Amino acid sequence: MEFATPLVPARLIRRYKRFLADVRLEDGREVTAHCANPGSMMGLATPGTKVWLEPNDDPKKKLKFGWRLVDHENGHFTGVDTSVPNRALKAALMAHLVPGLPDYTLVRPEVKYGKNSRIDFLLSGDGPDTYVEVKSVTLSRQTGLAEFPDSVTARGAKHLAELAKVAQAGHRAVMFYLVQRTDCSIVTLARDLDPAYGAAFDAAAQAGVTRLAQACQITPQAITLGPQLDFRP
């Protein structure tokens, strides 16, 4: 997935109200950027951090920049826009480039299921339907190790419970963790940050929900799917 507009570098001044970030552009201007990430962004929102912004000239948008990347300035990047995983995965699914998923002929996003829920992707073809829920992983507190979630997520636990019911009904249910970091090779659960999510994960696994973890290749030009990663619950 290529960025629609070339990204521009900046330095983070502060992130606040979850969806806003004040930044300083290279020409010295201070602007407010939209932060498309409802999580805690632990370890990613330190003032002075180098970030990459996507400018826009859409008259309907009040904010003219969107925060897309954290640049760790060691050759690695983290994608902070939580809408990216679904867009990147959709492109890969349409091209049949996602290992670990069965053959399918139809990819349907945002299909209603369960109790007031929507599955990110419903794959249909030969055999049972495959329900795929996608989570963006950006937390890393230990070198090389990515963790999910970065804060309490009752919504995430609800999704696991819905997937468990799908699996019990005879369909395939997959929790797909897309790691938006280029510096991690292993994925695990941050059980200390949200024990309820960890318990919901264990119950879903026992019900037959499978998990997949995959890396991203990230540059200021594009974000694409990388190799599968080792998941250690």
Domains and CATH numbers, the chain: 8-75 (2.40.50.580), 84-232 (3.40.1350.60)
Strand-by-strand arrangement of the 230-232 sheet: 139-142, 144-148, 184-189, 230-232
Low-confidence ranges of the chain (pLDDT < 70): none
| Residue 34 DSSP one-character state | E
Q: How many CB atoms lie within 10 A of CB 102?
A: 13
* Res 118: pLDDT: 93
pLDDT on residue 116: 81
Q: Is 64 left (phi over 0), alpha (psi -120 to 50) or beta?
A: alpha
Task: Give the amino acid at 200.
Answer: A
Q: What is the pLDDT of residue 219?
A: 97
Instruction: Say if pTM beats, i.e. exceeds, 0.85.
Output: yes
Sign of the alpha-carbon torsion through 184, 187, 189, 192:
negative
Is there a contact between 21 and 35 (Cβ–Cβ < 8 Å)? Answer: yes
Q: What is the pLDDT of residue 220?
A: 97
Whether the CB-CB separation of 101 and 2 falls below 8 Å is answered with no
* pLDDT for res 99: 87
What Rg do the C-alpha atoms of the chain give, in angstroms? 18
Q: What pLDDT, on a 0 to 100 scale, did the predictor assign at position 100?
A: 87
